[in-house]
Structure 1
Amino acid sequence: MELLVFVLASIMVLAGALGVILRSNPVHAALSLVLTLFGVAVHFVALEAHFLAAVQVIVYAGAIVVLFLFVIMLLGVDKAEDLSIEPFPVQRPLAIVIGIAVAGLVIAAVVRARDTLAEGTALPADDDQNIQALARNLFQDHVFAFEFTSILLIVAVAGTVILTRKEKQGGAE
């Protein structure tokens, strides 16, 4: 059963990732990203990391993808750009160098973590202390900032709807 869940979640992740890369419509690419993020959440559930799965769905699949869709709506998807014209000629070589550097850092971190775990110096589990501290921090110590952020997001949604509304042609309603 675990193998079936792993295979299906991996297919979701890979299909969504290919959709992000291959889709020409930005809205469809953003929805493919949602599929990828849900697949990762399924992997978290299979690893019994339920809190991470919930955060994955709420924060990434919910808030971040909605933010992407707001930007897509504000920029307009009806405009086609010519990719052969590059405004910053140094941009692509610099992106390649930075990408190789980030890949090197990730590989170094994985090797170091593997060596650390092989030595048996894994961190002990503190039951639910971290989750309780996070909840106390968000909902007691910083509840005003947390609620203010939700109001700010609602204003952003309303502003996006108003800005993207198109005027009707001819003045007739």
Structure 2
Amino acid sequence: MSVFYLVAFLAIFFALMTIFTKNPVHSVLYLVITFFTLTVHYILLNAQFLAVVNFIVYMGAIIVLFLFVMMLLNLNEEAEPVKSNLVKIMGAIAGMCLLATLLGAFRVIEPSNEMVAAHADIGLVENLGKVLFNEFLLPFEISSILLLAAMIGAVLLAKKDVKKA
């Protein structure tokens, strides 16, 4: 349990550093560390597939996308718009909602590990594959066809028109 508390503390700390850091690149790097701590949590919960997906998709692809977007935006203090009082009030309300959620989450009694001990193979990739390709084969294949159609559409939209002379 001490590993869980250490990783939970680090996750909260680096998430707060993500929010309160002034430099956007440092903020993204703190977000990478936060995602890494969430990956460790998934491993502690015996959800290896979610850990690998979190590591590859979020830490690999999305964070790199964030960094590229920030480099392309060329953020500087002169270009930052002045925030109105309405935006500040909305931010304060969102912060209070987050605080209320955290207070509600800490009231929950700590769950026991009886379920994990009884079903030690609950988060393994093999079991996920069995369920995915037995019970959900048709929706899985339909979603793959939908993703293929979206990819073809994106290629056709991005393709330049070549005019013949």
Q: Normalization by structure 2: what TM-score? A: 0.59
* Cα distance, 1:20 vs structure 2: 2.2
Regions of 4+ moved over 6 Å: 150-155
> How do residues 123-138 of structure 1 correspond to structure 2 at under 5 angstroms?
128=127, 132-133=131-132, 136=137
Quote the Cα distance in structure 2 between the aligned partners of 1:14 and 1:102: 13
* Cα distance, 1:133 vs structure 2: 3.0
Cα–Cα, structure 1 residues 66 and 142, in superposed 2: closer, same or farther, change >3 Å?
same
| 2:86 equivalent to 1:90 | yes
| 2:27 equivalent to 1:29 | yes
Structure number with the bigger relative contact order (C-alpha 8 A, sep ≥ 6) is 2
Cα–Cα, structure 1 residues 131 and 54, in superposed 2: closer, same or farther, change >3 Å?
farther
**Residue by residue, what CA displacement relative to the aligned partner does 1:107-140 show, whole Å, maximum 9, x if unpaired?**
44665x65xx79xxxxxx7x53697338746752
Q: Which runs of 5+ in 2 are unaligned?
A: 113-118, 159-165
Counterpart of 1:146 in structure 2 is 147
**Residue by residue, what CA displacement relative to the aligned partner does 1:45-103 show, whole Å, maximum 9, x if unpaired?**
122121221232233223332332232123113x22487x7342211112212322343
Quote the Cα distance in structure 2 between the aligned partners of 1:109 and 1:19: 21
Counterpart of 2:161 in structure 1 is none
Identity of aligned residues (%): 31
- The 8 Å contact of residues 23 and 29 in structure 1, kept in 2 or not, is answered as yes
* Cα distance, 1:33 vs structure 2: 0.9
* Cα distance, 1:24 vs structure 2: 3.4
Q: Which runs of 5+ in 1 are unaligned?
A: 119-124, 159-173
SS of the residue 1:86 aligns to? coil
Q: How many residues align?
A: 145
Q: Normalization by structure 1: what TM-score? A: 0.57
